[in-house]
Chains A and B, each alone.
Chain A
Amino acid sequence: GAGVSQTPSNKVTEKGKYVELRCDPISGHTALYWYRQSLGQGPEFLIYFQGTGAADDSGLPNDRFFAVRPEGSVSTLKIQRTERGDSAVYLCASSSGETDTQYFGPGTRLTVL
């Protein structure tokens, strides 16, 4: 079956711009996670959805970052007033519940010039 997909695969933007990153989880998966991976680091947790609600957003670095999952499936990570330090690979993962394996998408590489 289809895995987790993320679009776009690459996004280049200018400092101060707004970007949206999309995640399509595995069909039927109720849990969805966003992580950010900077160069030379492991993935860092950003936010976790169980269904439509954000169960834990403690990893969002500041209020420029926001994520939604309005219908409990597709999720969008939104970054306002992008900064060069936001450049990273943004990974999405989904699982069938809190107790199950997280399956990752290929990521979106965001570059802020």
Chain B
Amino acid sequence: DQQVKQNSPSLSVQEGRISILNCDYTNSMFDYFLWYKKYPAEGPTFLISISSIKDKNEDGRFTVFLNKSAKHLSLHIVPSQPGDSAVYFCAASVSESGGSQGNLIFGKGTKLSVKP
């Protein structure tokens, strides 16, 4: 029973265009969400996060949107660059003290390919 779902195993976009990666969750207790990026043979690298009290968080080219009523979040990358090609994992946690990441529940990942 997957609590965090990334239904698109792969995504291909052209350099300079927008990449949109989607994530759905089922546990309404989740209140902190994160995106990690992973290159081959490396560990996941933290990208951006959002608390459930917000609906948007932006950091440079990366923006995460949260729709709590739909239990859906998305990561937008604008403009996409070839170096963004990696596997992107959505993760969620239930915090006890507000903002805590706790133990992360990950999706299966989406492999993004940005073509020059």
Contact = CB atoms under 8 A, between A and B. Distances in A.
Interface of A: 4, 33, 35, 40-45, 48, 56, 59, 91, 93, 95, 98-107
Contact of A105 (B4, B43, B106): B43
B108 A43 contact: no
Given A42-B89, A106-B42, A98 B108 contact: no
A102 B44 CA distance: 10
Q: Is the interface of B mostly helix, strand, loop or mixed?
A: loop
Contact of B101 (A43, A101, A104, A105): A101
Interface residues of B, number: 27
Given A42-B89, A42-B108, A104-B44, A48 B101 contact: no
B103 A45 contact: yes
B68 to A, nearest CB: 21
22 contacts: A4-B43, A33-B104, A35-B104, A42-B107, A42-B108, A44-B106, A48-B102, A48-B103, A56-B103, A91-B43, A98-B96, A98-B100, A98-B102, A99-B95, A99-B100, A99-B101, A104-B36, A104-B43, A104-B45, A105-B43, A106-B43, A107-B43
Contact of B46 (A40, A45, A59, A102): A102
